[in-house]
Amino acid sequence: MKIFFLFLLILALPGSEFVHEKQTAAKMPERVFGKEEMAAPSVDMTKKDGWHLVWNDEFHDEKSFIKWNPQNWPSEKNGEWQYYLPENIDVRDDLLVISSRKESYKGRSYTSGAVTTESKFEFTYGKIEIRAKLPKGRGIFPAFWLVNSDEDWLPEIDIMENIGQAPNELYYVVHWKDEAGKQKRDYTKITEDIDFSEDFHLYGLIWEPGRIIWTLDGRNVFETDKFSPDSPLFLYINTAIGGNWPGPPDPQDDFPKELLIDYVRVYQQGGIGQ
């Protein structure tokens, strides 16, 4: 059942789709984005090693969509090929499903999906967990982001980026501007003996004053103290297709490709964040 529904790194490095251009979420019927109360989370996940659950989506039914904004626009960055459509977003078998399809739409050869929590849930500091199974294939670019509501979208934290032709590699990035307005970044790439398209994995981030830690399946894999945003950010989940960094998709590949999200959870500690 269908309900509805980034400046990447220059010179072939991971980066932001959002710099310099802010997009508007699609206008959807009130019945989808109403103010219905969501079911309270179960007790066993409301507290975790001193962290208190402040926001979550388990994607148990279509009411999940009241927490998200679908995107409806053609990506203009990095030469990407997709048009984001609300129709490419679904909830199925307790999963958020973002489908990428080989189909023509308004001059684009592919469509895909993206959702954000802009204006619905924005926060400063916390622990983010996203349990997901990634799509695989040349030119397929799934990512989880934290971005700013300001017009230039900076600062930005990339919780996870992956290029589908390298299903065992993950990229972690933080972007910001220095006092002179120059764009800066710190990042790393990890390579694992894992194909992230074959099973679900837990992609995590610990965002603290002065420090950011990226985690994978509960273990720390990258840390930086070069910059940590101190203003509210919102969640952004998407799959891009093609472009200067991932390259073109394989025209012989099977579509659709699916990014599967089991849950998204945000925790905070007492006295830190908002």
Catalytic site residues? 156, 161
What is the SS3 assignment for 66? helix
Point out which residues pair with 2 in neighbouring strands.
90
Distance of alpha carbon 151 from alpha carbon 40, whole angstroms = 34
The values of phi and psi at residue 67, to 5°, are -90, -5
Q: Residue 221: left if φ>0, alpha if ψ -120 to 50, beta else—which one?
A: alpha
One-letter amino acid for residue 161 of the chain: E
Of how many residues is the chain composed?
274
What is the SS3 assignment for 87? helix
The CA dihedral of 170, 226, 263, 167, to the nearest 10 degrees, is 0
Write the DSSP symbol of residue 42: P
Write the DSSP symbol of residue 151: T
How many CB atoms are closer than 10 A to CB 126? 23
Query: Do the strands 82-84 and 108-112 form a parallel or antiparallel pair, or are they unpaired?
Result: parallel
Distance of alpha carbon 71 from alpha carbon 6, whole angstroms = 12
Distances (CA, A) of 86 to 3, 25, 126, 132, 151: 8, 9, 28, 20, 23
